[in-house]
Structure 1
Amino acid sequence: MVLEKNNNLFLIFIISFLLTPAADANSKLPVIKTKQNIANIRYISSDGKYTYYQRRTGELYFSSNYEVKEVLKGIEYNHYLVIGSESKKKLIISSWSNFQKFLSMREPATLHIVDYGTHLSQKIGNGISPRLHLNDEWLSFFDPKTKSILFQNLIHYEIKLNINLSNTINHYFIPEVIMPNKTTIIYTDIDKNGIPIVSHFNIPDQKFSLLYKPETHQTKIELCFLNDHVVIAEFGLDTLNEYSSIKRLAITQLENYAQAVNIYESKLNDIGNMICHMDKQIYFSKKIKKNATISNYEIASLNPDSKEVKIISDLKYAPQAFPMEDKIIIPHRGEFLLLVGKNIEYNDHIFGGKQ
């Protein structure tokens, strides 16, 4: 019986693999250039001056002008994630000590903050999905154990905020959070009926209000902030009634969602993973139907003013990308492909990966 069960699982795995669209091995996208093994790099500045990288022994290091300084100590196989923002004043470091042994979306990381281009760190707390706001003056992160979003002021550390989610249904739900100004927080939640919602919290008044609620639970909502507008994306999950849309709402119109302008619409279920980038474009993974049974997923750019959509990747299956300063990067088969931005030109021409 055990052998039969294992064989069935293996067969399911093979069928799933064969039905997954194959990524294009002949992509014309350039590989990111680095001086060292890119698998160890956690953050690199747009000019290559600053690099944060980890070692197998568990330490996180900062490198600049051929000088190396330790940022954090750790145990063997410690895993780090370093993220920043277009303001380039702070960086957030997430650290997991048991990353290779306990795989869970809900496992909190230890969070540290460093000034951009430095190595001295300060512990902030424990959580996931950290994000910088308002010129890097605020930090938010999610505590999956208490199901609350925590906000920490990085100028005056005694100032903190806490928002408890309404969600009691989906234990794997991670909220999207934006803080467009010092009085406003907008975040996603799930109501008692399992329907995703967008909520607005007025900080001075300490009042909550419902900004948007779709008609069905078969949808995923994503948020970002661009050009003084809240961008709200809806990516369908119902395979029988596919739909995707992206709307934007001026920050001055939060009390009137009817003023939201539809800047993108599709009759297919896009993957999403939306990015509002510093180049004033919106990027997301778009579904492209080839025929009745085959669909590709490529990264698309959306101009929010002209509503023009362009397919800018060529991998056949590109479910996600991530920003790093002026760049948009796609992880692909152990390499990192440059989708938007310029490669770093090093004077000594020592690079990792393909040339």
Structure 2
Amino acid sequence: MVWISLFLFSLNIFAKELPKFLTKHTSESIRYITLDGRYAYIQKRQGVLGMVSSFRSVDFISDESHSNFLVKDSRFKQRLAVEIIPNDQKEFNLTKNHKIMVVEWGKTQTREVGIGRASKLHLGDEWISYYDAIQKMISVQNILTQKVFQIKLSAQTSPYFTPEVEMISADTIIYSDVNDKGYIALIQYNLITQKSVVLYKSSQNGTRLELCQEKGYVGIGEFPYDDIARTSKILQIKLSDSTNLAGYTTIYSSTDSDLGNMVCLENSIYFIKTMTHEKKINVKQTEAVKLDLKTTQVQTVTDLGSVSQLLAMDGRILIPHRGDYYVLEGSANLTDDKLKSPLPSSEELPIDL
């Protein structure tokens, strides 16, 4: 009871009215937009992805399979990863692989990388990882040399499980895996020696791990699957020149079944917390909160009642809610008609036709 009182004391209620995200593009068409609004990747229609920049527009991916698109960045802002999801409206399949491509930041010339899902850019955007749910295989690929390393997960891994991956150095990754009893673990793996070590193993089944990396640390969130009553926690591994990742610190722990969806910043981590839970009818009140890494205090930053997702785009953090996007971090209004000043000639990012 004392611990609960202390936790409630540390959960500062500081929710404020958030601004809506305003652009000249419809919210359902935006796949990615830079912080200053200079470049926007827009789904024009099913199967067509375009880029809009300073009143120039070009459709640079087009197919006949009624595809949808996912566009992802990293904090390095050198490249974007694009996942092409075929027949998105006609074939709903959690194990379906996507075509994965990369595009230079602010450009349109694409390069096909492989087939899988859950793509993520790493290490200056020179590396990319993705997961083949059918083969149960993690691929880690150097975009420049095309060299590919592969890690095979257990044959007993659920076909609906998708591992989380972070790259610590050019030869070291960490990833999540689950055993046949539903216990999740975090594994450090050396791509060269192919040796692995378990860094963390959960004491409860029915949970999943989320990984996010910022300058100087890796955030590890353990959250329950929906409809399962489990505790939640966030761990932190501080990074150094060494690849010894054995030590971690618990920076957040709760008996609540939080949603997670972590976004790591240099000094804080945003995630979605369960505020109340009516277990008889399984109705949750969920809000976005901010975990201060120095004080470990948790601050409630929304008052929407049902936050279900956080989206990070080039330093901007958005909350989709009832057809609109609300802005947690970054500029909210990109509707002015003023043309963006050109970048210095050495940095100009022309559209590749």
Q: Give the TM-score taking structure 1 as reference length.
A: 0.84
Would you say 1:211 and 2:211 are equivalent positions? no
C-alpha change, 1:280 and 1:54, in structure 2 (3 Å) is same
Tell me the distance in 1 between the aligned counterparts of 2:226 and 2:314: 34
In the alignment, structure 1 segments of 5+ residues that lack a partner are 1-26, 350-355
Question: Which residue does 1:16 correspond to in 2?
Answer: none
Tell me the distance in 1 between the aligned counterparts of 2:215 and 2:89: 40
Question: Which residue does 1:174 correspond to in 2?
Answer: 162
Q: What is the CA distance between 1:82 and its match in structure 2? A: 0.8
Residue from 229, 240, 245 that aligns with 2:217: 229
Question: Which residue does 1:287 correspond to in 2?
Answer: 274
Question: Which residue does 1:5 correspond to in 2?
Answer: none
Q: What is the CA distance between 1:254 and its match in structure 2? A: 6.4
Number of residue pairs aligned between Structure 1 and Structure 2: 321
Would you say 1:103 and 2:85 are equivalent positions? no
| CA deviations over 1:167-226 (Å, ceiling 9, x no partner) | 514210000000022221000001243311111102232211111111221322222223
Tell me the distance in 1 between the aligned counterparts of 2:236 and 2:133: 29
Q: Give the TM-score taking structure 2 as reference length.
A: 0.84
Residue from 28, 33, 56 that aligns with 1:39: 28
Q: Tell me if the contact between 1:48 and 1:344 (Cα under 8 Å) persists in the aligned partners.
A: no
Q: What is the CA distance between 1:238 and its match in structure 2? A: 9.7
Q: What is the CA distance between 1:36 and its match in structure 2? A: 2.3
C-alpha change, 1:276 and 1:167, in structure 2 (3 Å) is farther
| CA deviations over 1:287-327 (Å, ceiling 9, x no partner) | 11277866411111111121121111211111221100111
Question: Which residue does 1:64 correspond to in 2?
Answer: 53
- Return 31-40 or 141-150, whichever deviates more: 31-40
Q: What is the CA distance between 1:152 and its match in structure 2? A: 1.2
Residue from 313, 316, 320 that aligns with 2:302: 313
Would you say 1:276 and 2:267 are equivalent positions? no
C-alpha change, 1:38 and 1:192, in structure 2 (3 Å) is closer
Q: Tell me if the contact between 1:167 and 1:189 (Cα under 8 Å) persists in the aligned partners.
A: no
Which AA in structure 2 matches 1:172? Y
Question: Which residue does 1:14 correspond to in 2?
Answer: none
Q: Tell me if the contact between 2:30 and 2:40 (Cα under 8 Å) persists in the aligned partners.
A: yes
Question: Which residue does 2:188 correspond to in 1?
Answer: 200
Give the number of the structure whose residues are more often strand, by fraction. 2
Specify the SS of the correspondent of 1:230: strand
Tell me the distance in 1 between the aligned counterparts of 2:222 and 2:324: 30
Tell me the distance in 1 between the aligned counterparts of 2:312 and 2:121: 13
Question: Which residue does 1:250 correspond to in 2?
Answer: 238
| CA deviations over 1:231-258 (Å, ceiling 9, x no partner) | 222224598964211111223586574x
In the alignment, structure 2 segments of 5+ residues that lack a partner are 1-15, 339-353
Q: Tell me if the contact between 1:74 and 1:97 (Cα under 8 Å) persists in the aligned partners.
A: no
| CA deviations over 1:141-175 (Å, ceiling 9, x no partner) | 11001001111111212x11101112514210000
Tell me the distance in 1 between the aligned counterparts of 2:77 and 2:70: 16
Tell me the distance in 1 between the aligned counterparts of 2:65 and 2:152: 35
Q: Quote the RMSD (CA, aligned, Å).
A: 2.4
Residue from 128, 137, 146 that aligns with 2:135: 146
Q: Tell me if the contact between 2:168 and 2:243 (Cα under 8 Å) persists in the aligned partners.
A: no
Give the number of the structure whose residues are more often helix, by fraction. 1
Residue from 105, 108, 125 that aligns with 1:119: 108
Task: State the identity %.
Answer: 32
Which AA in structure 1 matches 2:150? N
Question: Which residue does 2:351 correspond to in 1?
Answer: none
Tell me the distance in 2 between the aligned counterparts of 1:145 and 1:292: 35
Tell me the distance in 1 between the aligned counterparts of 2:279 and 2:102: 49
| CA deviations over 1:264-285 (Å, ceiling 9, x no partner) | 11121111111213x5321111
